[in-house]
Amino acid sequence: MLKDMRRFHTCNCYYTDNIFIEKYKLHVRFVSEDQFRKDYQNILRTLGCTTDAQLDDVLDDIQSEVERRKNLAIQSAERKAIIKKTHKPLREHVYSLQESHLAPEFLEIVKYCHTDDATEEGLLSLLTTEAAPRVYRFPVFTKDFCRDLVEELEHFEQSDAPKGRPNTMNNYGVLLDELGLDEGVVSPLREEYLGPLSALLFPDCGGRWLDSHKAFAVKYAVHEDVDLSYHYDNAEVTLNVSLGKDFSGGNLYFGDMRQVPLCETECAEVEHHVTQAVLHRGQQMHGALPVTAGVRWNLVVWMRASRQRNLLCPMCGAPPSLRPAPGRGDGFTDESGREGVCALT
Ligand SMILES: [Fe+2]
Ligand SMILES: [Zn+2]
């Protein structure tokens, strides 16, 4: 069996950049208090952060977010070990992806991508194209699989197991790696099914070279997170599947790539139906409208291509400054030539 022996890395910007201040819906960079005051004090004032005490609260929040990020890998590995030992699944079959979990239309789409003469145009004729540029929609899972997966996620959510936050903007959800869904579900989904699609749709954004991912389920409900502010992902290609349950509102909206100024951007709304995925470039700005009733679960996979991000970090927009990380880190690899690429085991 070919085993990927590469050491994965994170970009050092993870510890300074894209820190989200929830109260003022603002992403900031924090290197020092002086730099922070200089860069953001005026903007924060216009957003209602006017007193010293309010600014101190913001600085405290930043401090704890940076600490969380520094300890994340170790704490995540600890949680994963505890969950593996103690968590009793409710729906065992969702931990191992089977063809019977996938929508027949999706299997047809992937089959087409595997044919020798597959083209982007041919593939597009099988997908729903959206008003937003290069945003595509198609069924992925069966209804039964979505229902069982949500039941499993809620069973885990209600258990005493330790839980990590899915990402820096969502407060409610499940990290799929920690729950043990990564190896059996997300990896085969990326490698065997989504890779061939992304290669045809996003060859210019690393779609041919997807070699790692971060996956989580996010939950929106009226008294929890209701929406998601406009942002870009730490991904080359993002998959977002609507899993259920019953909800109103919560459509996604898309603008342009992050490099395009906001004033030149018009947003397009994309409907999201249960069992269907929306596939888009990670660097295309997007958000989620408020859920107005019910509970909405989404499966999000941030797919990464080391070949692409090793050149330019998608988060700081500069060549990455690498720091070795456990697991798949943030999907960067060191290509300076000292590391082996593969080992036969
Ligand atoms: Fe996103
Ligand atoms: Zn970076």
81/163 same-domain check:
no
Q: Is a pLDDT exceeding 50 seen at residue 343?
A: no
Which protein residues have their CB within 5 A of the ion that is ligand 2? Answer: 11, 13, 313, 315-316
How many A from CA of 300 to the centre of ligand 2? 21
Residue 259 Cα distances to 11, 33, 40, 83, angstroms: 19, 27, 20, 40
Q: How confident is the model over 14-19, as a mean pLDDT? A: 93
Q: How confident is the model over 113-138, as a mean pLDDT? A: 94
How many A from CA of 210 to the centre of ligand 1? 17
How many A from CA of 226 to the centre of ligand 1? 14
Considering the entire predicted model, what is its pTM? Answer: 0.91
Which one of the ligands is nearest to 234 CA? 1
Which two three-digit tokens encode residue 195?
């890779």
101/227 same-domain check:
yes
64/25 same-domain check:
yes
Of 219, 218, 217, 221, residue with least CA distance to 292: 221
Cβ partners under 8 Å of residue 277, min gap 6: 137, 138, 139, 140, 239, 240, 241, 242
Q: For 61-118, what is each residue's pLDDT tens digit?
A: 999 999 989 998 899 999 999 999 999 999 999 999 999 999 999 999 999 999 999 9
How many A from CA of 162 to the centre of ligand 1? 24
77/118 same-domain check:
no
79/174 same-domain check:
no
Give the whole-angstrom CA distance, residue 80 versus residue 326. 13
Give the whole-angstrom CA distance, residue 166 versus residue 300. 10
Q: For 20-35, what is each residue's pLDDT tens digit?
A: 998 999 999 999 999 9
Instruction: Respond yes or no on whether the N-terminal peptide bond of residue 245 is cis (omega within 30° of 0).
Output: yes
What is the pLDDT, as a whole number, of residue 264?
75
Residue 76 Cα distances to 72, 192, 193, 274, angstroms: 6, 27, 27, 29
70/130 same-domain check:
no
Are the C-beta atoms of 227 and 299 separated by less than 8 Å? no
Cβ partners under 8 Å of residue 260, min gap 6: none
Buried b (16+ CB within 10 A) or exposed e, 279-317: bbbbbbbbbbbebeeebbbbbbbbbbbbebbbeebbbbe
How many structural domains are present in the chain? 2
How many A from CA of 118 to the centre of ligand 1? 29
Domain limits for position 193: 95-314
65/133 same-domain check:
no
**Confidence bin at 341 (pLDDT 50/70/90):** very low
How many A from CA of 270 to the centre of ligand 2? 29
The residue among 336 and 112 whose pLDDT is bigger is: 112
What is the pLDDT, as a whole number, of residue 167?
82
What percent of the chain clears pLDDT 70, i.e. is strictly above it? Answer: 96
How many A from CA of 195 to the centre of ligand 1? 19
First-to-final CA distance of the chain: 6
Place of tokens 């939950």: 219
Torsion of CA 196, 197, 203, 205, to 10 degrees: -110
Which one of the ligands is nearest to 252 CA? 1
Which one of the ligands is nearest to 314 CA? 2
291/167 same-domain check:
yes
How many A from CA of 310 to the centre of ligand 2? 10
What is the pLDDT, as a whole number, of residue 4?
66
How many A from CA of 220 to the centre of ligand 2? 29
Q: Give the Cα-Cα-Cα angle 7, 307, 11 (nearest 5 degrees).
A: 55
Q: For 45-63, what is each residue's pLDDT tens digit?
A: 999 999 999 999 999 999 9
Instruction: Examine residue 249 and state whether it is found in any structural domain, yes or no.
Output: yes
